[in-house]
Amino acid sequence: MIAKRIYYGWIIVAAALLATTAVYGTSYAFGVFYDVFIEEFDVSRSVLAAVFGFQTALIYVVGVAAGSAIDRYGQRAVAAVSSLLFVTGLVWAALSRSYLELLFAYGLLSAIGMGGLFVVSFATIPLWFESRRGTASGIASAGLGIGMVVFPLGADLLISSVGWRRAMFGIAVLSTVLCVVFTAFFANRPSDVGADASVEFDGGESPFETAQGYPGDRTSLTSNETITSVPFLLVFLSWVLLSAPIYIVISHIVSYATIIGIGRSEGVLALTAIGVTATLARFGIGALADRIGRTRTFIASTYLLGAAMLGITFAPIPAVFLGAIVCFGVAYGGCGSLFSPLVADLFGHDDLNTSFAVMSLAFAVGGLSAPPLAGLWFEITGSYTGSFLVASLGTIVGAGCVTAASRLV
């Protein structure tokens, strides 16, 4: 049995990596479709950005319900249903004949599936790991970077050769394969596969068999005292502020690079560079954080994110622009890899699926508001500079919020 030869938590990590690759690769490919969608559906930049913003927000809103469903039905069942909804939405998006169809297919149906896959992939890892929590979470979340490399680049090639509809079908096919493998290898808890949790947990049991309780034997889904506490709210605010520059860059960077004269191809290359550097950072920073402190490493990554955003905003030449993009990818990878460990470390394992999902609503706020506002700012001023600068300054406040929260818990 595989769990006897290798701790099965690492199989869960590999499966989660596949799911995050599919979910975030698809979401981040939106920037590549941006121009063709504007032409196809005859809408403005701010209106089209609402599709991405709506999808992003719904992923995390649905995540709260998904956390509850996981507690009742188990990770594997939620993964299967979420995968089906996700892929069905992509196929419908490829067939869309109007903006409203695209909004419902890509922004609603796929997002519901993404929300379930997101919570299953991220909130599960801290329940299988403790001493190597940062390392495991970093590897699992590296799918964000891998997806950002593979999906946008592949979509761009397909759009230019066979058109955007077939490109979207291609994304749907690849996502189907990844989600099937993810679901097949996922397990609800260590005891289901005979895994020895003592290799990670001193007490010999993971939180699944102790505080977590699983499944169907819970009378409460989350602790109101935790999610209404000052530290929790401070971390929530920090993620609202941190997610703004991330979503602005991901959704607007191709258009931004074209407008400032760097070029559309360089904008696509920027997305690829962010994906590569974020992937490498997730593999390395998670392991580093286990050694020097996960909260400390997270705060450092936050400051780097703000500095990189400033570099992107005021880059005088393409070389500086791409250098800032690389730094942005490293910072993004560092912050992303430590999100679920930060929640578990600061607020404990109890009700982690739901408390993690509630914390993730910060992404919904940032994702729903930041891209449309950046698009609106451009339509009013003819420039992205102001919105990029505000987003950069917000990261400084976000770092301060996490610092304060860590001292209060």
Q: Is 238 in contact with 213 (CB distance < 8 Å)?
A: no
Which region holds residue 42: left if phi is over 0, alpha if psi is between -120 and 50, else beta? left
pLDDT, position 17: 92
Q: Which of 117, 136, 89 is nearest to 19 (CA)?
A: 117
Least confident of 36-50, 251-265, 344-358, 359-373: 344-358
Q: Which residues contact 102 (CB under 8 A, 6 or more apart)?
A: 37, 41, 51, 93, 96
pLDDT, position 208: 58
State the SS3 of the chain. Answer: CHHHHCCCHHHHHHHHHHHHHHHHHHHHCHHHHHHHHHHHHCCCHHHHHHHHHHHHHHHHHHHHHHHHHHHHHCHHHHHHHHHHHHHHHHHHHHHCCCHHHHHHHHHHHHHHHHHHHHHHHHHCHHHHCCCCHHHHHHHHHCHHHHHHHHHHHHHHHHHHHHCHHHHHHHHHHHHHHHHHHHHHHCCCCHHHHCCCHHHCCCCCCCCCCCCCCCCCCCCCCCCHHHHCCHHHHHHHHHHHHHHHHHHHHHHHHHHHHHHCCCCHHHHHHHHHHHHHHHHHHHHHHHHHHHHHCHHHHHHHHHHHHHHHHHHHHHCCCHHHHHHHHHHHHHHHHHHHHCHHHHHHHHHCCCCHHHHHHHHHHHHHHHHHHHHHHHHHHHHHHCCCHHHHHHHHHHHHHHHHHHHHHHHHC
pLDDT band at 82 (very low <50, low <70, confident <90, very high): very high
Q: Using CA atoms, how far apart are residues 106 and 101, in angstroms rounded to an integer? A: 8
- Which is more confidently placed, 91 or 280? 91
- Summarised one tens digit per residue, pLDDT across range 226-246 is 788 899 999 999 999 998 998
Q: Using CA atoms, how far apart are residues 24 and 307, in angstroms rounded to an integer? A: 24
pLDDT band at 211 (very low <50, low <70, confident <90, very high): very low
- Which is more confidently placed, 142 or 302? 302
- Summarised one tens digit per residue, pLDDT across range 377-399 is 888 998 888 999 999 999 999 99
Asked if pLDDT for residue 351 goes beyond 60, the answer is yes
Least confident of 94-108, 139-153, 170-184, 202-216: 202-216
- Average pLDDT of the segment spanning 203-217: 50
pLDDT band at 221 (very low <50, low <70, confident <90, very high): very low
pLDDT, position 212: 43
pLDDT, position 241: 93
Q: Using CA atoms, how far apart are residues 218 and 228, in angstroms rounded to an integer? A: 20
Q: Using CA atoms, how far apart are residues 212 and 369, in angstroms rounded to an integer? A: 34
**Other CB atoms within 10 A of residue 230 CB:** 11
- pLDDT, averaged across the chain: 84
pLDDT, position 196: 72
pLDDT, position 265: 78
According to the CATH classification, is domain 2-190+223-408 in 3.40.1350.10? no
pLDDT, position 222: 46
Asked if pLDDT for residue 28 goes beyond 80, the answer is no
pTM of the model: 0.72
- Which is more confidently placed, 377 or 67? 377
- Summarised one tens digit per residue, pLDDT across range 149-174 is 788 889 889 998 999 999 999 999 99
Q: Which residues contact 345 (CB under 8 A, 6 or more apart)?
A: 133, 294, 295
Q: How many CA atoms lie less than 13 Å away from 345 in the CB half-sphere?
A: 23
Percent of the chain with pLDDT over 70: 91
Task: State the amino acid at position 35 in one-letter form.
Answer: D
Q: Using CA atoms, how far apart are residues 387 and 262, in angstroms rounded to an integer? A: 19
- Which is more confidently placed, 206 or 146? 146
pLDDT, position 48: 83
Q: Is 137 in contact with 155 (CB distance < 8 Å)?
A: no
Domain coordinates of the chain in residue numbers? 2-190+223-408
Percent of the chain with pLDDT over 90: 30
Q: Using CA atoms, how far apart are residues 264 and 110, in angstroms rounded to an integer? A: 27
CB pairs under 8 A, 24+ apart, for 7-11? Answer: 7/195, 7/196, 7/199, 7/200, 8/128, 8/187, 8/190, 8/193, 8/195, 9/125, 9/128, 9/129, 9/136, 9/190, 9/195, 9/200, 10/136, 11/185, 11/187
pLDDT, position 172: 94
pLDDT, position 200: 65
